[in-house]
Amino acid sequence: MSTPHHHDTLSLQDSTILAETFRLLGDPSRLRILFYCLNEPKSVGDIEAVPDPGQPPPTFAARGKTGCR
């Protein structure tokens, strides 16, 4: 059995941040926003302009992303 190395562990703070990021990305609307913004930054107005019938406006989905860095 090998001795754990620093890169084999995750601090409590890092694991909390990572878990919150995965939780936020578990929402389909947030994933769509993420992929829409991958190639270049988009304004909230740009994101709101993308039609998504049957879904709440993207600004509601974007609210939780402020904790993600």
Summarize pLDDT for 30-41 with one digit per residue, the tens: 888 888 999 999
pTM greater than the 0.95 cutoff? no
Summarize pLDDT for 2-49 with one digit per residue, the tens: 555 566 789 999 999 999 999 988 888 888 888 899 999 999 999 888
DSSP string for the chain: -PPPPGGG---HHHHHHHHHHHHHHTSHHHHHHHHHTSSS---HHHHHHS--TTS--HHHHHGGGGG--
